[in-house]
Amino acid sequence: MKSLIECIPNVSEGRRDDVVARIAESAVRAGPGVILLDRTSDKDHNRSVFTYLGDGPALVRGMTALVGAALEEIDLATHRGAHPRLGAVDVIPFVPVRGATSADCVALAKELGKSLADRYGLPVYLYEDAASSPERQNLANVRKGEFEGLAAKMKEAAWAPDFGPSAPHPRGGATVVGARAPLIAYNINLGTADLAVADRIAKAIRHLSGGYRFVKAMGVKLEARGQVQVSINMTNYEKTPLHRVFETVRSEAERHGVLVVGSEIVGLVPAPALFGAAAHYLRLEADPGPQVLENKLLDLAFSSKAE
């Protein structure tokens, strides 16, 4: 395994456990080199998120198999759920992890898009770093109108798919494939029950309303704790780092007489995001990454596997 890439397909089924399991396993059974790291389902959303790790060719093969399995099991014409979706397999991002670049992931997204169109007659849109035009970068734009509005949307020249026919797959709709930086889900909890404070801080830090370029944020009420939370998606921790967002939230909260009582990372986090925070606060003069013992172990582990 020379390079390591993460692939996180979002599938429009979150209620039938046996079906979810079969779809998740189909990617692993397609051949060696694909590992299922995590899977979570949401019944309200009627949606599941799988996290795979592997090398590029193995992931393209695995994701092709996964879409095939999903098209057998899922019929979007009868699918209902709280989460917006365009396809039976709604979105498949590739994320570079180790020894791989964004460009590598863009190439994989295109390869997979072509494979899905050729094999299943499925329309495919490319998004984020793989997008063929600026208005396709944002997933929300591509998904607007959802499955139910897709047939009409596809008739517009601006929304011709990047691969496959200009009509929805009858059961599977369309799939959005792309490449992006690792995403960190990061929540900061405030010592107040006043949702307006969290909302105001979310507005201050998010890109949409004048905040940081790679931050999405909203205020959330934590009923059981009697607190509120600034719920954040960090879409590029290298360019907008954790510590900078944390310090801005802290400063904005204090302006309202409110303290940050804690923070939490949801799901996986790349080690360099935490090294960056340590380096900032400890005023380290050099990036500590090359000196981290565990990085040397990873180098050894994955270089010996490449032989």
How far is it, in rounded angstroms, from Cα 33 to Cα 39? Answer: 18
- Footprint (CB under 8 A) of a second copy, residues 168-187: 182
Residue of 83, 207, 243, 256 marked catalytic: 83
How far is it, in rounded angstroms, from Cα 225 to Cα 134? Answer: 41
Contacts of 57 (CB under 8 A, 6+ apart): 33
Q: Which is nearer to a second copy, 175 or 229 (CB)?
A: 229
CA 173 distance to own-chain centroid: 20
| Backbone φ, ψ for residue 65 (5° rounding) | -65, -40
Quote the DSSP letter at residue 173. Answer: B
Q: Which is nearer to a second copy, 141 or 263 (CB)?
A: 263
* 83 catalytically annotated: yes
Name the CA radius of gyration of the chain, rounded: 21
Contacts of 213 (CB under 8 A, 6+ apart): 207, 236, 239, 240
Task: Pick the piece of the chain touching a second copy (CB under 8 A) from 40-48, 99-107, 140-148, 294-302.
Answer: 294-302
Interaction between residue 235 and a second copy (CB under 8 A): no
Q: 């981290």: which residue's tokens?
A: 292
Q: Which helix (H) or strand (E) holds 120?
A: helix 102-120
139 neighbors 174 (Cβ within 8 angstroms): no
Contacts of 220 (CB under 8 A, 6+ apart): 187, 195, 198, 228, 229, 230, 231
CB of 78 to a second copy, least distance (A): 36
Query: Which x/- pattern over 71-100 shows residues binding a second copy (rule: CB under 8 A)?
Result: --------------------------xx--
Interaction between residue 29 and a second copy (CB under 8 A): no
Pick the binder of a second copy from 21, 37, 103, 152 (CB under 8 A). Answer: 37
Query: Which x/- pattern over 39-58 shows residues binding a second copy (rule: CB under 8 A)?
Result: --------------x-----
Pick the binder of a second copy from 193, 220, 222, 292 (CB under 8 A). Answer: 292
Task: Pick the piece of the chain touching a second copy (CB under 8 A) from 72-80, 197-205, 230-238, 259-267.
Answer: 259-267
- Footprint (CB under 8 A) of a second copy, residues 188-207: 189
DSSP β-bridge partners for residue 48 = 11, 41
CB of 68 to a second copy, least distance (A): 26
CB of 180 to a second copy, least distance (A): 15
Residue type, 226: G
Q: Which is nearer to a second copy, 19 or 245 (CB)?
A: 245
232 neighbors 217 (Cβ within 8 angstroms): yes
Pick the binder of a second copy from 201, 230, 234, 242 (CB under 8 A). Answer: 242
Residues forming contacts to a second copy in the complex (CB under 8 A) are 4, 6, 35, 37, 53, 97-98, 182, 189, 242-243, 246, 260-265, 267-271, 274-275, 277-286, 288, 291-298, 300-302, 305
